[in-house]
């Protein structure tokens, strides 16, 4: 069990909530550095676990991408029961889930999509393609440095089927009309040196959104883990003013 991936709530004072979702195979601790900064600006931020994550490796053996959307729906409803205005955002799979939720609900106040793939780099382990009889992929956490060592906490043995579920989620987002149905304010962040998501993903998400209030931030060098690593500071310099502007518009 990953005890350090307990869901975490940072209480703010501006009356606005944000739900943050981590990436596939990781846990909610991955969002803590960004959550702390947003909390410093007054937001109440809830770092939550995607369905099947943050407990036992076996959970991923029976978790579907639809389960993940249902869990995000539940987490958003929890924050909506406490705040009139709530954003939902996430990194990688978490960003995809935020977009998927907004495509199905008209009451989402805004989306923060970070490093969300519409397609996965074929060289990445997230592309899947494991042998049919390989149930788990062993991912050694050794070698991590800095914030990744402290906050990117994941299962050492990852159920390979979760990568196929990720592909199912991407197939849903790539359907005609899904991203186009999103009309709420949306902030899209993408690194051009992303080693997991194909770098065109951010621009394509931005292009297909129907929102009148959308923003695209492309970083030259921040990698896939931009919301966790040092790349988050330049992103936050764009995100916070955008949130301030949206807060005024939505009031």
Give 100-129 as a DSSP string: HHHHH-S---EEEEES--SSB-TTSGGG--
Range of the domain at 148: 3-250
CA distances in angstroms from 51 to 118, 154, 206, listed in the order given:
20, 14, 26
pLDDT tens track for 31-79:
999 999 999 999 999 999 999 888 888 888 999 999 999 999 999 999 9
CA distances in angstroms from 17 to 7, 45, 69, 71, 236, listed in the order given:
15, 6, 19, 17, 17
pLDDT tens track for 132-158:
899 998 887 766 667 766 677 777 888
Q: Cβ(38)–Cβ(28) under 8 Å?
A: no
Question: Rounded to the nearest 5 degrees, what angle is found at the Cα of 224, between the Cα atoms of 122 and 181?
Answer: 85
Band the pLDDT of 247: cuts 50, 70, 90: confident
d(CA 96, CA 100): 6
Count of domains for the chain? 1
CATH number at residue 32: 3.40.50.1820
């Amino acid at each position: 069990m990953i005890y350090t991936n307990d869901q975490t709530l940072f209480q703010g004072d501006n009356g606005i909530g944000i739900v943050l979702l981590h990436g596939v195979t990781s846990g909610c601790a991955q969002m803590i550095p960004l959550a702390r900064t947003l909390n410093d600006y007054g937001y109440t931020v809830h770092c939550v676990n995607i369905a099947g994550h943050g407990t036992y490796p076996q959970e991923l053996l029976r978790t579907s991408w639809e389960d993940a959307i249902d869990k995000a729906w539940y987490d958003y409803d929890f924050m909506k029961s406490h705040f009139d205005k709530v954003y939902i955002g996430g990194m990688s799979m978490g960003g995809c889930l935020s977009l998927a939720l907004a495509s199905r609900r008209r009451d989402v106040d805004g989306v923060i999509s970070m490093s969300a793939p519409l397609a996965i780099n074929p060289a990445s382990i997230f592309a899947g393609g494991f042998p049919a009889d390989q149930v788990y992929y062993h991912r050694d956490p050794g070698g991590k440095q800095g914030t990744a060592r402290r906050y990117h906490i994941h299962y050492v043995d990852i159920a390979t089927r979760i990568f196929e579920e990720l592909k199912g989620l991407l197939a849903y987002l790539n359907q005609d009309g899904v991203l186009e149905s999103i009309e709420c304010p949306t902030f899209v962040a993408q690194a051009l040196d992303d080693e997991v998501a194909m770098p065109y993903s951010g621009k394509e998400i931005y292009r297909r959104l129907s929102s009148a209030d959308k923003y695209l931030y492309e970083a030259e060098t921040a990698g896939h883990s931009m919301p966790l690593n040092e790349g988050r500071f330049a992103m936050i310099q764009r995100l916070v003013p955008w949130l301030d502007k949206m807060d005024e518009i939505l009031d």
